[in-house]
Structure 1
Amino acid sequence: MNETLKVMEARRSCRNFDKKKMVSAEDIEAIVKAGTYAPTGRGKQSPIIIAVTNKELRDQIATENAKIMGTDMDPFYGAPVILIVLADKTIPTYKYDGSLVMGNLMNAAESLGLGSIWIHRAKEEFESDFGKKILSDLGIDGDYEGIGHCAIGYAAVPAPASAPRKGNYVYYVK
């Protein structure tokens, strides 16, 4: 089987990251680059990616995300790197574009032997003063909506086997 298809079949959401092991800058850059090659409507490239490796900011984002979720747990499961995908709301396909970026990020992480998980609530985070300040501090202007957080790191435990695919997943018309 083709290596790309193997990666897609093997990828699982990681909910237990090794908190002591940081992802290399080279691997982060490769994953982010893969995200930038996701297809976008009319080639508009509406998404942006904020790669957070600074532990202080990562922990602040985790705290804000947990508040939105209504808990005090770490919503990123200890992952040391958070790749935040936002997309320009003025582009009609922005949600789809951002979702495709998220998929590329997760598959790229898997291809490099890293765990990943899509964590929601980026929309609410970046509608808040907290998120708006992050964008402002980075000099990001525009009408962006948070699509998701791709938490990445080394898995602390092996990924579980995939669940069987449901019987009525695909319908062929020949």
Structure 2
Amino acid sequence: MNEVIQNILTRRSVRTYQEKQISDDDLNAILEAAKFAPSGMGKQSWHFTAVQNKEIMDKLVSAVKEALQSSEVEQLKKMGNNPAFNPFYHAPTIILTAYDRNAQTGVSDCAVALQNMFLAAHSLNIGSCWIHILAITGNDPKVRSILTELGIPEDYDLSGTAALGYNSKEAPKAAPRKEGTVTIIK
């Protein structure tokens, strides 16, 4: 089988990570793959912020949990009140994707860039998981303050986050694919 298709078919979301940090070379390769994702009208409306500092991640986790505690959605409130909850699954590296809120295709641009990150990570034997929590909590004042400190422009909104690290367990099996999701018209 073609190695690109094999990479796509074998990538899984990883939610348990070793403490070992990924190398700078691997991080740079993953970010480069993100920058080469297609984007609407070639605008590249994204901004990527890689965080490997545990203190900063802990600060961000605390702010996210506090924001969730005031959510009107009961499931989110429970997550925020759970002392063991870490939205990034304790990954040693996270990459925040943000987009210019004036860009018509910003969310889609970030989604494609994230997929490139995940596929690049998998090809390097690095586990990954798409985290959506900052798209939900990114406008909370405390969370936004941290994002601004991290260099994310004020006029950018958060899309997904890539959690990255070495898997501490065997990769999960693929969920069965839903039937009836493809139509071919000739």
Deviation at 1:80, TM superposition (A): 0.4
1:51 paired to 2:59:
no
Could you list the per-position Cα deviations for residues 72-130 of structure 1 after superposition, in whole angstroms to 9, with x for gaps in the alignment?
31121121001000001101111111111111111111111011001112124431233
Question: 2:73 — aligned with what?
Answer: none
Q: Describe the shift of the 1:139–1:168 C-alpha distance in structure 2 as closer, same or farther (beyond 3 A).
A: closer
Amino acid of the residue matched to residue 172 of structure 1? I
* Percent identity over paired residues: 38
Q: Describe the shift of the 1:139–1:60 C-alpha distance in structure 2 as closer, same or farther (beyond 3 A).
A: closer
Could you list the per-position Cα deviations for residues 29-86 of structure 1 after superposition, in whole angstroms to 9, with x for gaps in the alignment?
1111111111110000001100001111112122223332423311211210010000
Question: 2:63 — aligned with what?
Answer: 64
TM norm structure 2: 0.86
The answer (yes or no) to whether the contact 1:7–1:111 under 8 Å persists in 2 is yes
Q: Describe the shift of the 1:137–1:158 C-alpha distance in structure 2 as closer, same or farther (beyond 3 A).
A: same
Question: 1:159 — aligned with what?
Answer: 171
Return the alpha-carbon distance in structure 1 between the equivalents of residues 89 and 62 of structure 2: 12
1:111 paired to 2:119:
no
Report the more deviating stretch, 115-124 or 35-44: 115-124
Report the more deviating stretch, 48-57 or 118-127: 118-127
The answer (yes or no) to whether the contact 1:39–1:97 under 8 Å persists in 2 is yes
**CA RMSD of superposed structures (Å):** 1.6
The answer (yes or no) to whether the contact 1:88–1:142 under 8 Å persists in 2 is no
SS of the residue aligned with 2:129?
strand
The answer (yes or no) to whether the contact 2:7–2:123 under 8 Å persists in 1 is yes
TM norm structure 1: 0.91
1:17 paired to 2:17:
yes
Q: Describe the shift of the 1:147–1:159 C-alpha distance in structure 2 as closer, same or farther (beyond 3 A).
A: same
| Structure 2: 5+ residue stretches without partners | 69-75
Amino acid of the residue matched to residue 59 of structure 1? D
The answer (yes or no) to whether the contact 1:45–1:97 under 8 Å persists in 2 is yes
| Structure 1: 5+ residue stretches without partners | none
Return the alpha-carbon distance in structure 2 between the equivalents of residues 160 and 76 of structure 1: 17
Amino acid of the residue matched to residue 8 of structure 1? I
Return the alpha-carbon distance in structure 2 between the equivalents of residues 8 and 66 of structure 1: 32
